[in-house]
Amino acid sequence: MSDLSGKHIVLGLTGGIACFKSAELCRGLVKAGAAVQVVMTEAAEQFITAVTMQALSNRPVYTSQWDAREDNNMPHINLSRQADAILLAPCSADFIARLAQGRADELLSLLCLARPADRVPLLLAPAMNREMWAHPATQRNLAQVAADGAHVLGVGSGDQACGETGDGRMLEADELVEELTALFQPKVLAGQRVLVTAGPTFEAMDPIRGITNHSSGKMGFAIARAAREAGAEVTLVAGPVALATPRGVRRVDVKSARQMLAATQADVDRADIFIATAAVADWRPATEADQKIKKDGTGDAPTIAFTENPDILATVAKSERAQRRELFCVGFAAESQDLANNAQAKRERKGIPLLVGNIGPLAFGQDDNQLLLVDAQGTRELPRASKLVLARHLVGEIARRQAAWKQ
Ligand code: C5P
């Protein structure tokens, strides 16, 4: 199932050069499974044609409140009642002002005003010149529409079509699809703070080389995304990986296990849930040479001594807050055989309420996985699925277990 399958989205375009991104956005929404109904203001039609948007959405575009195609001649009622959400992208400064005032003299503002606000969320992706964005009138209007219940999405920063540089760019199409997808996820972690470790660590032996492992970080990043979708405030402590930060997640990059421990400890006192997915190196070279270790021509290989790394999860699990059941700790275990027994033993050794096991060689670097949840009550399997789908299930399981465990 795609993320937005079964969802009916009204995509509203207002006047701005960012309309060129709305074509890509429309495709992204359709690809994610949504039915997309495009509505354009007169100004939007100066920037992109209704023909383009019709072809991409596979539906006739609406541009007027007098559209006679509707039997009752009430497109503002019909379109807003069919919708699961209304996304305005781009949303111009003028349109934000119109929303703030409750104006209704053209179709798009009319249908925003007419929407059943308790069940049809309104999302705004602002797009404008940086001075217009920073203007107190715009910020005042945005605060007003947010207070009236709209979800005001952020803006990007960088080069603007006018040649200036700054805040006010519309978010990219994939970011907007991610925001909309998040909106529909159940908010099982609302108000909670979640800390996730992800990826491998890199343990240097000299300024050039070190030891690491094949962890891609995909599972941990998916969990961070799913936790944020579920309403949590998420910090992601990431080892060296080449992955984009999930939207709305605070990321702290580290290299070594000791840095990962320090970054974790800096944040864990604020957390309600700690999820350790990182593949932390068990050992590091005992010393890190100041200069590159070179061949000396004798044919003798250098001897590298190792020392054990701190166990981040076990350290956190022993903390007072974890012991007082204010911090729910979740560990991961990659095993190569006898998953249930090994995982249960590891859970007890680490002193944590939940351990998530997987068969390492079947999980590393893959986009999908299968998980075994092990707690004091027994085991539960989450069958093979994409890491994001599994992460969403896992977040639901964690929320349920944490609530029961705290009592
Ligand atoms: O002991 P093992 O590495 O198999 O345990 C795996 C779990 O412990 C994972 O959740 C991993 O993130 C965590 N871990 C840790 N610090 C270490 C080693 C493992 O947090 N040094």
Q: pLDDT digit string (tens) for 194-206?
A: 999 999 999 999 9
Q: Are residues 284 and 368 in the same domain?
A: yes
Residues 78 and 134 in one domain: yes
Q: The domain that contains 280 carries what CATH number?
A: 3.40.50.10300
Residue 1 lies in a domain: no
Are residues 214 and 250 both part of a single domain? Answer: yes
Using the atom order of ligand 1, give the atom closest to the CA of residue 355.
Answer: 10
Q: How confident is the model at residue 2 (pLDDT cuts 50, 70, 90)?
A: confident
What pLDDT, on a 0 to 100 scale, did the predictor assign at position 8? 98
Of all protein residues, whose CA lies closest to atom 2 belonging to ligand 1? 333
Domain of residue 201, residue span: 193-289+304-406
173 and 227 in a single domain? The answer is no
Q: Which residue has the tokens 């969802």?
A: 7
162 counts as catalytic: yes
State the distance from the centre of ligand 1 to the C-alpha of 156, rounded, in angstroms: 36
Q: Whose CA is nearest to atom 13 of ligand 1?
A: 313
> With a 6 A CB cut-off, is 196 part of the ligand 1 pocket?
no
Residue 331 Cβ < 6 Å to ligand 1: yes
On whether residue 147 sits in a domain, the answer given is yes
How far, in Å, from the CA of 280 to the mean position of ligand 1? 6
Q: Which of 95, 86, 96, 104 is nearest to 39 (CA)?
A: 86
Does 235 share its domain with 88?
no
174 within some domain: yes
Spacing, Cα 293 to ligand 1 middle (Å): 29
* Nearby residues of 78 by Cβ (< 8 Å), 6 or more positions away: 70, 72
Determine, yes or no, domain membership for 299: no
CA dihedral 405, 234, 364, 185 (to 10 degrees): 80
- Are 169 and 245 members of one domain? no
Q: Are residues 179 and 235 in the same domain?
A: no
> 10 and 85 in contact (C-beta within 8 Å)?
yes
**Do β-strands 8-13 and 35-40 pair in parallel, antiparallel, or remain unpaired?**
parallel
357 & 338 share domain? yes
pTM of the model: 0.93
CA distance linking residue 385 with residue 283, whole number of Å: 32
pLDDT band at 1 (very low <50, low <70, confident <90, very high): low
Residue in 41, 160, 203, 35 with CA at minimum distance from that of residue 111: 41
Domain boundary among 162, 183, 204: 183
Average pLDDT over residues 162-185: 96
**Does the beta carbon of 333 sit less than 6 angstroms from any atom of ligand 1?**
yes
309 CA: nearest ligand 1 atom:
21
Q: Ligand 1: which of 202, 268, 280 to mutate, most ligand atoms within 8 Å of CB?
A: 280
Q: What Rg, from alpha-carbon coordinates, does the chain have?
A: 25
Q: Please work out whether the CB of residue 278 comes within 6 Å of at least one atom of ligand 1.
A: yes
Q: For ligand 1, is residue 276 a contact (CB within 6 Å)?
A: yes
129 lies in a domain? yes
Domain contains 264: yes
367 pLDDT band, cuts 50/70/90, is: confident
User: Which is the catalytic residue, given 19, 91, 112, 162?
Assistant: 162
Q: Are residues 18 and 138 in the same domain?
A: yes
Domain count within the chain: 2
173 touches ligand 1 (CB under 6 Å): no
- What pLDDT, on a 0 to 100 scale, did the predictor assign at position 384? 94
Q: Is residue 97 domain-shared with residue 217, that is, in the same domain?
A: no
Last residue of a domain, one of 119, 151, 183: 183
Q: Does a structural domain hold residue 369? A: yes
What's the number of CA atoms in the CB half-sphere (13 Å) around residue 122?
Answer: 26
| CA distance readout (Å), 392 to 174, 249, 325 | 19, 15, 23
Verify whether ligand 1 is closer than 6 Å to residue 313 (CB atom): yes
Predicted pLDDT of residue 337: 86
Nearest atom of ligand 1 to the alpha carbon of 277 = 12
CATH code, 136: 3.40.50.1950
Tell me the average pLDDT of the chain.
95
Residue from 211, 282, 311, 332 to probe ligand 1 pocket by mutation (most atoms less than 8 Å from CB): 311
- Whether residue 157 is found in the same domain as residue 214: no
Over residues 40-69, the mean pLDDT reads 97
Q: Is the CB of 354 under 6 A from ligand 1?
A: no
Say if 377 falls within a structural domain. yes
Q: Which of 183, 210, 236 is the last residue of a domain?
A: 183
313 and 240 inside one domain: yes
